[in-house]
Amino acid sequence: MDSHSPALFVGDALGLDFLNSVATPQDTTIDWIDDGEGLLRWLDQARLVPASALDAIRAQALPGELDKVADRARSLREWFRGFVQTHRGRPLALDTLDALEPLNRLLERDEAFSQIVQTQDGGSASLEVRALRRWRSPEALLLPVGEALARFVCTEDFTQVKACEGPACTLLFADHTRGHARRWCSMALCGNRAKQAAHRERRKAHQH
């Protein structure tokens, strides 16, 4: 697995998937947003930016411009990681609003607008209002990320934001299971490893 492999989306919340865009799923740390192209790939996989807008931005970006935006995305990611690590495990207090100022500053730069569009559902067409955005520059790529982070802050129960219990794993997730008993980023990654380790321990104990 490397930064060109598909990114991991195991957080059960897009805000946490953004934090998980740098992770140590096995033994090596992978940063899926390590450069401008990485940022475009991650936004595409997260379905945060339409493919047509990504193509247009890639075509018009100046040399190095996308890498600078990726750098800003990584800074935003680490700032938000600090916020989540500080507040996870307990209800989010209303006095955290000051701490969210950097996010509000990003959101106020948005150029979102609504448009009536025709949609096709099966055989019937209908009209709907769709939220759209002007992608005037590569900087605009950060806006849907900011929106996902804001939605996460306002809708998730921070008492159920957890870190995977895998010894070297850095992945975070929102525990939406019925009994809130989720322990692993995913059974395929750390859950299976823990089961194998427990099995080895039992066999060792049995041999003695």
The parts of the chain modelled with pLDDT lower than 70 are: 193-208
The pLDDT assigned to 196 comes to 65
The pLDDT assigned to 208 comes to 58
The pLDDT assigned to 199 comes to 52
Contacts of 114 (CB under 8 A, 6+ apart): 129, 130, 131, 132
Residue 208 maps to a domain: no
The pLDDT assigned to 188 comes to 81
Please give the tally of structural domains in the chain: 1
Q: For residues 132 and 144, is the Cβ–Cβ distance under 8 A?
A: no
Residue 112 maps to a domain: no
Q: For residues 79 and 94, is the Cβ–Cβ distance under 8 A?
A: no
The pLDDT assigned to 53 comes to 96
The pLDDT assigned to 207 comes to 63
Residue 125 maps to a domain: no
pLDDT tens readout for residues 169-183: 899 999 999 999 999
The pLDDT assigned to 24 comes to 85
Residue 174, judged by CB atoms within 10 A of its CB (0-12, 13-18, 19+), counts as buried
Q: Which range of residues forms the domain containing residue 28? A: 14-106+138-183
The pLDDT assigned to 186 comes to 86
Q: For residues 141 and 39, is the Cβ–Cβ distance under 8 A?
A: yes
Amino acid at the residue 78 = E
Residue 154 maps to a domain: yes
